[in-house]
């Protein structure tokens, strides 16, 4: 008997509304509607408590890279808990799974990155980046280098530093963010902001904003630039090929640290181990989380290049920073078992050479739909932009976002989990997706678009 069958759905919904404050949720609206109760996951499939089967097009929340229900990870966690469920890494102690994981991560990271600082989440990891880059410059005798440059519509988590580094206006509007010392430049969002420019020219133009900002602030005051190789929560924004090399060139020119937030792009999502590999950049720091454990247990970290690590290690002085669960042995054991699966099943190569190109080809076929303005995908991360007239993509639905949520609700109804960002639909399915499941995903996505189109016609959107 499933654990969840012990609790009738109606009781769960009522108790949920009474006691459970959900993340990123309008609580009043949820209480009226009642939460969907997910009870089981297997591979790319989910089941809810009413028996509906859903194709998980979002890998949980961008993390279940090896798919749901892998017994190898459960077994590794069980074994580790039996031996040593928890011990800390403060006070000159360590534990085998954390050490093995650090070694393993150094082996798959770019050659110049060989150390890791562990956290329990991506948000904590980005908080660590902020503190670490300021500490680095202080140790180097340049304490004025305090400012971190990030981008509008970026997502770097939900803690004070994470939300401040992120460029989400609604988040900044609550609680007086961003905190001091963080500024934002434009994003490389061609569909939304390219205004018909050639992709490559637009990529260079968006990157030039970084140089302008550095000169305005004075390079002697700038510590680092941070960006997601592909913006995830911002709407799967895939920058033009010219963008990242130019960002790297500018960072090097002004001796500014480059931090890549690999929380979504890492661990095979793009068909390379990291998004930085995909775009050919060499960041000084990389934030990891999500796919490192496929979400089976919480774990994140900051991967640190030799250049930065040498200063942190050799210039001495304690770095007064860390978390109780930094290097948690059971979470590390889950990560090791997850990396075993990724490597044994060749999932990174599979995304590069097999299922990635296959799903990309199928996804592109949706471009002929009467409300699709653009389809895009790298590896297994993609988006559909919904517009009222694909022949004139600068026209948008008004108000923005309403059509996206209608489509997202239809997706759930047809049996596909997609997420809506503004009026785009985004997907990032598990890397284990089969060809047949990819066909099914695209069939359900088309059905979603048809249902949305019919609904919009009923509402008179097309006059
Ligand atoms: C999810 C996410 C984070 C935050 O990770 P949490 O584990 O939710 O704290 C940070 N950066 C990116 C790019 C993310 O997608």
Q: Which atom of ligand 1 is nearest to the CA of 298?
A: 7
Atom number, ligand 1, closest to the C-alpha of residue 126: 10
Give the mean pLDDT of 10-16: 94
Give the nearest ligand 1 atom to 124 CA.
9
Which phi and psi angles does 382 have, rounded to 5°? -155, 175
pLDDT digits (tens, 9 = 90+) for 61-72: 999 999 999 999
Residue with the smallest CA separation from ligand 1 atom 11 is: 156
Buried b (16+ CB within 10 A) or exposed e, 75-106: ebbeebeeeeeeebbeeeeebebbeebbebbb
236 alpha carbon – ligand 1 mean position (Å)? 14
Contact residues of ligand 1, CB 6 A cut-off: 62, 121-123, 126, 155-157, 228, 232-233, 261, 263-264, 289, 300
Q: Which atom of ligand 1 is nearest to the CA of 289?
A: 7
Ligand 1 mean position, distance from CA 25 (Å):
17
Give the neighbor-by-neighbor strand order of the sheet with 424-427. Answer: 372-378, 381-386, 424-427, 419-421
pLDDT of residue 3: 63
Q: What is the DSSP letter of 368?
A: G
pLDDT above 90 for 462: no
Ligand 1 centroid from CA 155, angstroms:
7
Binned at pLDDT 50, 70 and 90, residue 86 comes out as very high
pLDDT of residue 4: 61
Is 7 a residue whose pLDDT tops 90?
no
User: Which tens digits make up the pLDDT trace of 299-328?
Assistant: 999 999 999 999 999 987 899 999 999 999
d(CA 424, CA 233) in angstroms, rounded, equals: 11
- Ligand 1 centroid vs 409 CA: distance in angstroms? 24
| Domains with residue ranges and CATH for the chain | 36-66+348-458 (3.90.1150.10), 72-344 (3.40.640.10)
Residues 203-232 have a mean pLDDT of 98
1 has a pLDDT exceeding 70 = no
């Amino acid at each position: 008997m499933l654990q969840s069958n012990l609790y009738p759905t109606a009781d769960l919904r009522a108790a949920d509304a009474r006691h459970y404050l959900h993340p990123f949720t309008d609580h009043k609206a949820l209480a009226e509607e009642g939460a969907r109760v997910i009870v089981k996951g297997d591979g790319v499939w989910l089941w809810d408590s009413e028996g509906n089967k859903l194709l998980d097009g979002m890998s949980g929340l961008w993390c279940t890279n090896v798919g749901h229900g892998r017994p190898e990870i459960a077994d590794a966690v069980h074994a580790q808990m039996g031996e040593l469920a928890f011990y800390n890494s403060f006070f000159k102690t360590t534990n085998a799974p954390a050490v093995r994981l650090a070694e393993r991560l150094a082996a798959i990271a770019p050659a110049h990155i060989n150390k890791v600082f562990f956290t329990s989440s991506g948000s904590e990891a980005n908080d660590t980046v902020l503190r670490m880059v300021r500490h680095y410059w202080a140790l180097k005798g340049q304490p004025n280098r305090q400012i971190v440059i990030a981008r509008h519509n970026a997502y770097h988590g939900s803690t004070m530093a994470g939300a401040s580094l992120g460029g989400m206006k609604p988040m900044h509007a609550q609680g007086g963010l961003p905190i001091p010392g963080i500024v934002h430049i434009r994003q490389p969002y061609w569909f939304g902001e390219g205004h018909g420019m050639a992709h490559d020219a637009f990529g260079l133009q968006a990157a030039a904003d970084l140089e302008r900002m550095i000169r305005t602030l004075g390079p002697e005051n700038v510590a680092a630039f941070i960006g997601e190789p592909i913006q995830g929560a911002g709407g799967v924004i895939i920058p033009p090929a010219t963008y990242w090399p130019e960002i790297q060139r500018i960072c090097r020119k002004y001796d500014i640290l480059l931090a890549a937030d690999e929380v979504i792009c890492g661990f095979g999502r793009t068909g390379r181990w990291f998004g930085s590999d995909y775009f050919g950049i060499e960041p000084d720091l990389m934030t990891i989380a999500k796919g490192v454990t496929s979400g089976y247990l919480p774990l994140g970290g900051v991967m640190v290049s030799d250049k930065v690590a040498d200063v942190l290690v050799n210039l001495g002085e304690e770095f007064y920073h860390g978390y109780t669960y930094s290097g948690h042995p059971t979470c590390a054991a889950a990560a090791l078992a997850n990396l075993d699966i990724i490597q044994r099943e060749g999932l990174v190569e599979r995304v590069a050479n097999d299922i990635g190109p296959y799903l990309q080809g199928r996804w592109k076929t949706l471009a002929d739909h009467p409300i699709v303005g653009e389809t895009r995908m790298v590896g297994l991360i993609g988006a559909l932009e919904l517009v009222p007239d694909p022949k004139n993509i600068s026209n948008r639905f008004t108000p923005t976002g309403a059509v996206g949520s209608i489509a997202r609700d239809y997706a759930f109804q047809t049996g596909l989990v997609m997420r809506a960002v503004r009026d785009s639909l985004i997907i990032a399915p598990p890397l284990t997706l089969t060809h047949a499941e990819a066909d099914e995903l695209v069939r359900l996505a088309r059905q979603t678009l048809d249902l949305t189109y019919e609904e919009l016609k009923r509402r008179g959107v097309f006059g």
